[in-house]
Amino acid sequence: MGSVFYNLDECLRNIDERKKTIDINVGLRPSGNLHIGNVETLLVSCILSESIEEMGYDSTVHVNICDLDMPFVNENFDSKGHGYTIINYRDMPDLEGCHDSFSLHMANEIGQLLGLVNENVDFNYDFNFFSELQNKLDFRIALKEIFDNNLEFKKIFYGNQSKKAKINDVFAYPVCLKCKRSSKKSAVYNPQDMSLSSKCLNDFCENNEFIFSLFDLDYDLALHYFLNDALRDIVIEPFADIHVFGGDYSLKHSLNNMRKIEKVKKIAEIITPHIPDYFVGPLIQGKDCQKMGKSKGNGLNIFELIEKKGNDIIYNMIDFTRKNIINNPEYPKNDSLRIDYKQIKDILKID
């Protein structure tokens, strides 16, 4: 257990034959509309699950909706304007007004999409919300393990730049109970009494400093996504057998030469040697050869595309993924996990 695969054949050959069921985890942080990068990651998970069922195992895709987010990775984050934007999607209103929260709207969009995929791909799935997972005691106990080994974590995170690391700064961003927004600053952990202290930095909130126990489940903790990725696989049942990542996890993290996926693996290993296998899906390239995504401003909204071009868009993406990614022993060639813009243009019938 605990290898990184880019090629499906290799991933399937390494399945533990003693198991009856294979649980696949995939996480999404669709802070806006679902874009085709998200869709590709979901498709890879679904088709992988179908392939595993064909081999005689039961398999479920657990879609994790990452509804607690850190401010600086969120495109709604406004550092100059009104303090710090809500990043607790569960308490954030649905922008389109059709659901009780932004979080539920996200789940609905993903559900709609998976419904369409299910017409062509035979797989089972369920949803989990990160806000609920991180509120379980087991999760906090595992988090304590990371916080108690914060130096080791920082070494993995920063690589050789670990001089930047402040020993008790942990990568958790507690949500203020008064304004329901999270702090921009990472919390400070006190290993003696297992408390976290944080500051609400929102302009409109008078709640300045607050201290609480790591095990106080009234406090939501937005976490750095590396922590979220690593922990949810191994502390909440069913534990993941395979975690599917989007293609940008094959890229090197900005801080040093280590691939993001390797960092997640090492962070999980702080907790337990029994970590899942990781399968990394392809990265979709934009017109400008950059990674396609909202953060680069070149992302394509899947439902806008479906509205213009019909459901065929999804079926074409499924066909392409089956043929070129999943059932292609040659994939990825030369360590390249990219689907280039020329290819995606044909699939999506766009210019």
Q: In degrees, to the nearest 5, what angle opens at C-alpha 154 toward C-alphas 148 and 157? A: 135
Minimum distance from residue 203 beta carbon to Zn ion (Å): 10
Give the integer Cα–Cα distance in Å for 60 and 284: 25
Q: Is 136 in the site for Zn ion (CB under 5 A)?
A: no
Q: Is 78 in the site for Zn ion (CB under 5 A)?
A: no
Minimum distance from residue 301 beta carbon to Zn ion (Å): 15
Q: Is 178 in the site for Zn ion (CB under 5 A)?
A: yes
x-or-dash string of contact with Zn ion, 4-43, rule CB under 5 A: ----------------------------------------
Angle, in degrees to the nearest 10, between helices 260-271 and 225-235: 50
Quote the tokens at residue 187. Answer: 């919390």
Q: Is 199 in the site for Zn ion (CB under 5 A)?
A: no
Quote the tokens at residue 200. Answer: 């609400």
Contact partners, residue 330, CB within 8 Å, separation at least 6: none
- Which residue type sits at 1? M
Q: Which stretch binds Zn ion (CB under 5 A): 33-41, 55-63, 91-99, 160-168?
A: 91-99
Q: Is 204 in the site for Zn ion (CB under 5 A)?
A: no
Contact between residue 183 and residue 221 where contact means Cβ atoms under 8 Å apart? no
Helix (H) or strand (E) holding 8: helix 8-13
Contact between residue 244 and residue 64 where contact means Cβ atoms under 8 Å apart? no
Q: Is 179 in the site for Zn ion (CB under 5 A)?
A: yes
Q: Is 280 in the site for Zn ion (CB under 5 A)?
A: no
Nearer to Zn ion, 94 or 148 (CB): 94
Among 62, 90, 105, 253, binds Zn ion (CB under 5 A): 105
- The single residue listed with the structure tokens 């065929």 is 312
Closest among 143, 183, 190 to 167, alpha carbons compared: 190
Q: Is 177 in the site for Zn ion (CB under 5 A)?
A: no
Q: Is 205 in the site for Zn ion (CB under 5 A)?
A: yes
Q: Is 98 in the site for Zn ion (CB under 5 A)?
A: yes
Rounded to 5 degrees, what are φ and ψ at 263?
Answer: -65, -45
Q: In degrees, to the nearest 5, what angle opens at C-alpha 262 toward C-alphas 261 and 268? A: 90
Cα first-last separation, the chain: 43
Minimum distance from residue 84 beta carbon to Zn ion (Å): 9
Q: Is 99 in the site for Zn ion (CB under 5 A)?
A: yes
Nearer to Zn ion, 96 or 216 (CB): 96
Among 110, 176, 221, 339, binds Zn ion (CB under 5 A): 176
Nearer to Zn ion, 96 or 319 (CB): 96
Among 53, 94, 148, 269, binds Zn ion (CB under 5 A): 94
Nearer to Zn ion, 210 or 331 (CB): 210
Q: Which stretch binds Zn ion (CB under 5 A): 52-60, 61-69, 192-200, 318-326?
A: 192-200
Give the integer Cα–Cα distance in Å for 249 and 260: 5
Site residues for Zn ion per CB under 5 A: 94, 96, 98-99, 105, 176, 178-179, 200, 202, 205, 207
